[in-house]
Amino acid sequence: MTIKLLPQSLQNQIAAGEVVERPASIVKELVENSIDAKAENIRIEIEEGGIKKIRIIDDGKGMNETDARNCFTRYATSKISTVDDLFALSSFGFRGEALASIASVSLMTLRTKEKTENKQNIGIEIVYTIHNNNSAENLEVVPCNMQSGTEILIENVFWNVPARKKFLKSETTEAREIVKIIEKFAMSTPNVSFSLKVNGIEKISVQKSTLANRAKDIIGKDITQHFLPLVYQGVDIQISGFTTHYNYSRSNRTRQYIFVNNRIIASDSLISSAIAQAYETLLPRGKFPSFVLHITIRPDEVDVNVHPRKTQVKFINSSNVFKAVKQAFSTTLENTHATQNTIQHSDFSEFTPTLSKQQQQISTRFSVPTLSRNTSHSSNYSQSPPPAFPHIPSIQTSFIEHHEEITQDWKIIGQVRKSFIIVEEKTGMRIVDQHAAHERVRLEALTEKMNAKSIVSQPLLTPCVFSLSVSDKETLLEQTEYLQKIGFEIEDFGNSEVTISAVPAGSEHIDIAKLFQEVLDNCDFFEPGFSSITDSFAKKVLSYAACRGAKMFGDEMSHIEMEALIQDWKHCKMQHSCAHGRPVSIFHPFTEMEKKCGRC
């Protein structure tokens, strides 16, 4: 077999396999270019999950015709010129691969005008095309009328690589991934305005702001009200941002943002380990804090050229970074424990780290914008606790059907520690977890009503309004029609907020905001075994609704309540476990007791 040089277009497509995984990858590369071009306003428009169209418009410094032509050539870049530059990067991009790779698997049109003293709005338009079975490429260059900046239109992603296109997910999923990447850019560079439209509908619109205000817009006030300021001032390392109080936690790491010199970093084991040690004795197993972590470090102390997608870094002195991150989090948590100085008692938006002159000179390019001082405390952060579980004469609620009277072969002995019910049966003694049992009863009753389409919706006297991150809000609103079938009335309330005006009858006392946040934290929308996304979502909602409305550990129960609960539980189809798979009861046979007591 003869060794031959591959055509340039095929080389680009091979490189695209590393750079362009999905439409969100394209958006990431192009937005990074816009930020490197000193853009202050970036607009993103996508259609059909970015598969049909991606348009990115910025007001950066633009390009002249020579640079615009060269940018389609692999390894053509304005950002580095020597090997030393590679290890002291001050830009997001540097390889010169992105545009060539993207253009090789899509239809691309570039319009740009260099920002000069010339006030004429005359730029150039370049249409990049591939023909002759991907073996040749062509640039059509014409003048165009436009303001300074750059506009790139990407159409029909993977049109010429069908093998890659079949690995894409649904349009909804691809769009959600793009929303997530823009959320991260918004948190990375709060000094830049971002706008994102999905199929003509605006999903994100944030203006230049402080990091604190940007966090409220993107992450949501229900999380940021628990934020505490992070600060570390070293000679070569600065740390700033926010982390949640240890009284607040989530079941996953989705609201953890890590930036190194403003660069978006995927989960980093070194940084994650440092944070985990800071929270080691403060959070239960399986619970995680939310945080926005900006690490500013000298460019020559970090290597960003370790992954094609530039989402991983290596630190020259990793132990120093580990110590700095751990100290920043530990100090914040220790001070909070001593003073209880949570955001509800301090002004979240007024945290401004004081840096030494030497620290300020490290690199202005990498400085996280300081946070403005605002002396007024927002009343939006007041959070009243959910109503307590109402006292009821019987454990049965409107969720639970009354059973016909039957002959019982068991009897209630009593309640232990206000948590366990002791039941005497014919052959032994059963210890029942009252919360798990009630949860199972509620889940089966709710599921039965949902299947029969007989769940009654109960309007709330005061609608529940709560905030979510942009991506979580989109996920929730996508399920609106299906949620109506299980008793919830939910509407978009503008910005990052949603409102719930009705809930399934009998669940009015549940903390609805917490319910849906837990569902979003734990819902895997592509679990095997579910016929659709909505089936999976509904199952999670019912499970958490059953849990949140059930009798809790520490709730004292009357004898009548205990009898009603055990009777309902014994009619369940799946008695052995609660809605989350934990065991409901432990059975001790009398024969085993007798053996241990030497009676047989």
pLDDT single digits (tens) 112-124: 999 887 778 889 9
Number of residues that make up the chain: 600
Residue 82 belongs to domain spanning: 8-206
In a domain, 393, yes or no: no
Same domain flag for 189 and 222: no
Q: Which two tokens stand for residue 535?
A: 């089936």
Residue 122 DSSP SS3? strand
The answer to whether the beta carbons of residues 469 and 350 sit under 8 Å apart is no
| 595: phi then psi, degrees, rounded to nearest 5 | -65, -45
User: Are the CB atoms for 268 and 195 separated by under 8 Å?
Assistant: no
Is 398 part of any domain? no
Same domain, 257 and 158: no
Would you give per-residue pLDDT tens digits along the chain (600 residues)? 788 777 766 666 666 656 788 999 999 999 999 999 999 999 999 999 999 999 999 999 999 999 999 888 877 787 767 777 667 777 776 667 888 889 888 999 999 999 887 778 889 999 987 765 555 567 889 999 999 999 999 999 999 888 888 889 999 999 999 999 999 999 999 999 999 999 999 999 999 999 999 999 999 988 999 999 999 999 889 999 999 998 888 888 889 999 999 999 987 889 999 999 899 878 888 889 999 999 999 988 988 877 666 778 889 999 999 999 999 999 999 887 555 444 443 344 444 443 344 334 433 433 333 333 333 333 333 333 333 333 323 344 433 444 444 457 899 999 999 999 999 999 999 999 999 999 999 988 888 887 787 778 889 888 888 888 888 888 888 888 878 888 889 999 887 889 999 888 766 667 777 777 777 776 554 444 444 445 666 777 788 788 878 899 899 999 999 999 999 999 998 888 888 888 899 999 999 999 989 887
Tell whether 201 and 218 lie within a shared domain.
no
The answer as to whether 399 is a domain residue is no
C-alpha span between 563 and 557 (Å, rounded) = 10
pLDDT digits (tens, 9 = 90+) for 534-549: 566 677 778 878 887 8
The CATH number of whichever domain residue 366 belongs to comes to 3.30.230.10
- DSSP designation for 5: P
**Of 206, 232, 261, which closes a domain?**
206
Beta strands in 39-135 (DSSP E): 41-47, 53-58, 107-113, 122-131
SS3 572: coil
- Considering 150, 177, 206, which residue would you say is the last residue of a domain? 206
Look up the CATH number of the domain holding residue 486.
3.30.1370.100
Cβ-defined contacts of 499-504 (< 8 Å, 24+):
499/463, 499/464, 499/465, 500/460, 500/463, 500/464, 501/459, 501/460, 501/463, 501/464, 502/457, 502/458, 502/459, 502/460, 503/457, 503/458, 503/460, 504/399, 504/446, 504/455, 504/456, 504/457, 504/458, 504/545
Edge-first strand order for the sheet with 457-467 is 457-467, 497-504, 489-492
Q: Residue 554: left (phi > 0), alpha (psi -120 to 50), or beta?
A: left
Same domain, 75 and 192: yes
| Cα–Cα distance, 112 to 145 (Å, whole number) | 9
Give the C-alpha separation, 248 to 386, whole Å. Answer: 16
Q: How far apart (Å, rounded) are the C-alpha atoms in residues 405 and 577?
A: 25
For residue 478, being part of any structural domain is answered with yes
Judge contact between 254 and 247, C-beta under 8 A: no
Asked if residue 404 is part of any domain, the answer here is: no
Do 174 and 222 lie in one domain? The reply is no
Domain contains 422: yes
Do 275 and 338 belong together in one domain?
A: yes
In a domain, 400, yes or no: no
- Residues sharing a CB contact under 8 Å with residue 411, sequence separation 6 or more, in sequence order: 423, 424
pLDDT tens column, 6-43 = 776 666 666 665 678 899 999 999 999 999 999 999 99
340 and 458 assigned to the same domain: no
Which residue, 356, 374, 392, sits at the end of a domain? 374
Same domain, 431 and 568: yes
Number of separate domains in the chain: 3
Does the predicted TM-score (pTM) go above 0.85?
no
Are 230 and 119 in a shared domain? no
332 and 437 both lie in a single domain? no
In a domain, 392, yes or no: no
CA torsion 505-508-509-512 (nearest 10°) is 120
The CATH number of the domain holding residue 189 is 3.30.565.10
Question: How far, CA to CA in Å, does 191 sit from each of 185, 186, 362, 371, 435?
Answer: 11, 9, 19, 11, 49
Q: Are residues 192 and 235 in the same domain?
A: no
Residues 326 and 223 both lie in one domain? yes
